[in-house]
Chain A
C-alpha cells in the first residue's frame, strides 16, 4: 500500500524502469537528502554561520601572529614577518615565568580538582538516603551557581587582614595578621582551593550517576565473599566509575591551558603578579590594553596549540591504558 519508508524519506520510483540503478554516489545521496529535507538545511544556516563567523574566521585571523598587524591594512594585507613575533616572545624573559606560572597553576588545578569530587561522590553513595545526604548534596552543589566575581569578592573579604574570617582564625592560633592575597606564594593555593570549593559538588553529580549505574549484584557478591566497606569501594566502586573518571580527566587536562582568565585576572594585584600572571591574562593585557595585536595573537596561538597537543596526548595515553577515550 504505502511506499517503503526509510527513516521518513519515501523512496522515489526509478525514472527509467529496466535500466539497472547504479549505487548512489555521495553527491546524489546529498542531493536526495537536500531535496527531501531542505528544511533541515535551512535550519542550520544561521547556527552554522555563527560557527563560521565567531569560531572559524578568528582561527583564520591567527595569521596576524606571523604578521606586523596594522589595523589600517587589515589582517590579510599587513606585511609578513615570519616567526619574528614568536622569536621575540621566546626571548622575552617574561615568557619563562609566564609559562611556568600557567603550567604549575593548571597542573595543580587538575590534580586537586580531580580526586575530590570522586571522594565526595563515594561518601555520598555510601550513606543512606535522608535529609543529611540531601543537604550535603544541595549545599555542595550550590557554589557552582555563584559568579566568579562574587567568589573572588568573597575570597577577598574572607582573607581581609583586618576583619576577614580567615585572619581571625589564624589569629586564634597565633599567626599575626597577614594579607594572603598580597603574598605571591599563596596565589595558587587560593586560586585552586576556591575552585575546588566552587565545583566539587557539581562534578560529584557526574560520579554519583556512574556509581548508581553499578550493578548491585556486584556489591552483594563482594559482601558474601566477606569484603568490608573499604574493600568494596576499592574493588567495586572505583573500577565501576573508572571510564567516567578517565573522560573527566581528559576533559580536565584538555581544558588545562584554557584555565580561567576570569578568576586569575580578578585575583591579581601588583603584589602577587610574580605568580599570578598567566598566559591568558598576559594576552589580554598585551592585546587589548597595550594594543599589540600581533604579539597577543602569537601568545594566544601558542597557548591553543599546546592545549590541543596536551588533549591529544592525554586522549592517546588514556586509550592505551584503559581503552576509554573521547573518540573510538
Chain B
C-alpha cells in the first residue's frame, strides 16, 4: 500500500502566499507604531522635535528616560499603582473565588438564583452617578478604597472561575472528602485551591492588568494627587500636557519644551513595560482563561 500525497493545486499555493503577505502587512501595522514610540524614546530631544525619527533611534540618548525617572509625580504614580495592583488583585481574587466556588457546587441550593443575580448586572448597570452616590455614602471618596472595592468582582471572572471548578474538580472528589469528614471550607483549602493554580494565575493576571491600566475610577473618585495611580499621572502629562516649565531665558525654555515632548515617549515605554515584560510568559495562560470563559456553562 502506498500513500499518495495529494499535491496542493496551484491556486491553493497562490492563496497561501496571499494569506502570508496579508498577515505580514497586519504584523507591520500593529508593530510599526510601537517601534516608532520606542525609537523616539531613545532619540535626542532635538531629533524628535525636528521629526527626524521614524523606526530607528536618531542621535541615541537617554535624556527622556532620565527626565521621566526624575519626575516625582511619575514615581509616586508608579508607587501608587503598585499598591493598587497588589492589594486590588488580592481582594478581587479572594472575593471571586469565594463566590465562584459555591456556585460551582451542585449542593449549593439557590445557585441558579445567585447566578441570575450576577448575570443581570452584566446586562443592566446602575450607571455612573448612582454608583458614585453609593461610594460617596460609604465615605470612600478620595481614599484608596475607592479604587480597590467598587470594581472588585468581575462577573466574567466569576464565570471563568466557576466553569473551571465545575469542569476540573470531579464530584467524586467532593464525595470522598465528605466521607473523610472534611468541611466545605476545608475542601476548598486542601483540595480545590491546590488543584486550581492555573486558574488563580489567570484571575490574578486579569485583575492586575485591569488595576494597572484603568484610570476611570481614579478620575471619578480621587481628588488628592498623592493618591493618583500612574495612569492619571500619565493622562495629565501626556494628554492634558500640563505646562511645567519655570525657565527664564528662551533657549532654556526651548530645551525644556523639547525635553517635555520627548519625555512622553519614554513615559509610554516605562508605563507599559511591566505588563509587556510579563506578557510573553503569561499569554498562554491568558489565552486559556479566555477559552474557559468562552465555554457556555
Contact = CB atoms under 8 A, between A and B. Distances in A.
Contacts of A47: 95-96, 98-99, 153
B203 interface: no
Given A163-B50, A165-B36, A262-B216, 20 more contacts: A5-B179, A8-B178, A40-B102, A43-B102, A47-B99, A54-B152, A59-B124, A59-B130, A139-B31, A145-B272, A147-B213, A147-B272, A153-B264, A158-B33, A206-B290, A262-B215, A266-B235, A284-B128, A288-B220, A296-B128
Interface in A135-163: 135-136, 138-143, 145-150, 152-154, 156-158, 162-163
A148 B109 contact: no
Contacts of A8: 107, 171, 174-175, 177-178
A300 B238 CA distance: 29
Nearest to A294: B129
A61 B121 contact: no
Given A34-B109, A147-B212, A147-B231, A157 B280 contact: no
Top 10 closest A-B pairs, CB basis?
A58-B126, A33-B109, A61-B130, A300-B127, A147-B213, A58-B130, A47-B99, A163-B51, A153-B238, A8-B178
B114 A44 contact: yes
A266 B239 contact: yes
A29 interface: yes
Contacts of B98: 43-44, 46-47
B154 to A, nearest CB: 11
A14 B271 CA distance: 65
Interface string B166-189: 000001001101110001110010
A169 to B, nearest CB: 10
B48 A163 contact: yes
Contacts of A9: 107, 178
Contacts of A301: 127
B83 to A, nearest CB: 17
B1 interface: no
Nearest to B150: A54
B263 to A, nearest CB: 11
A175 interface: no
A107 interface: no
A2 B118 CA distance: 38
B130 A62 contact: yes
Interface in A120-146: 120, 123-124, 126-127, 132, 135-136, 138-143, 145-146
Contact of B105 (A40, A152, A296): A40
A64 B130 contact: yes
Interface in B212-269: 212-216, 220, 231, 234-235, 238-239, 264-265, 267-268
A185 B110 CA distance: 52
Nearest to A300: B127
Contact of B16 (A30, A126, A145, A197): A126
B79 interface: no
Interface residues of B, number: 98
A266 B238 CA distance: 10
Given A59-B130, A287-B132, A304-B125, A141 B175 contact: no
Given A29-B109, A62-B126, A163-B50, A127 B133 contact: no
B280 to A, nearest CB: 7
Nearest to A61: B130
A227 B138 CA distance: 65
B215 A147 contact: yes
Given A37-B184, A123-B19, A293 B129 contact: yes
Contacts of A48: 99, 114, 117
Interface residues of B: mostly helix, strand, loop or mixed? helix
Interface stretch (B4-12, B67-75, B193-201): B4-12
A254 interface: yes
Contacts, number: 279
A132 B235 CA distance: 35
Most buried by B among A156, A202, A254, A300: A300
9 contacts: A30-B109, A75-B133, A126-B16, A136-B26, A147-B272, A153-B267, A197-B29, A288-B132, A308-B124
Given A37-B184, A197-B30, A297 B127 contact: yes
Interface string B15-36: 1100110110011011111101
A230 B184 contact: no
Nearest to B22: A123
Nearest to B100: A47
B134 interface: yes
A9 B108 CA distance: 11
A185 to B, nearest CB: 21
Given A43-B102, A262-B215, A149 B239 contact: yes
B209 interface: yes
A154 B31 CA distance: 13
Contacts of B19: 123, 126-127
Given A43-B98, A150-B234, A287 B131 contact: no
Contacts of B62: none
Nearest to B209: A145
Interface in B41-75: 48-51, 53-54
Contact of B108 (A10, A33, A135, A224): A33
A44 B271 contact: no
Interface in A31-63: 32-34, 36-37, 39-44, 46-48, 50-51, 53-62
